[in-house]
Amino acid sequence: MLAGQGYMAPFGDSPTVGIGGITLGGGIGPLQRTVGLVSDNLIELEMVDAKG
């Protein structure tokens, strides 16, 4: 998946953590000093507001 394409998402192994919240302020862990936070690795996103 991501790794096969040369990317990684530096978040942990907690299955209850969603990609939305962790992208806003997470990624703190063993890889933080090497690759930064999740937001540091965000290349692109698609915004969808309440009206779709």
Q: Do 25 and 31 form a contact (C-beta atoms < 8 A)? A: no
- Tally of residues, the chain: 52
Task: Kindly report the number of other CB atoms within 10 A of residue 32's CB atom.
Answer: 14
10 in contact with ligand FAD (CB under 6 A): no
Tell me if 30 contacts ligand FAD by CB under 6 A: no
Contact status: 16 vs ligand FAD (CB under 6 A): yes
For ligand FAD, which is the closer residue by CB, 1 or 48? 48
How many residues bind to ligand FAD according to rule CB under 6 A? Answer: 14
CA-to-CA distance for 30 and 9, rounded, in angstroms?
Answer: 13
Told to check if 34 binds ligand FAD by CB under 6 A, we report no
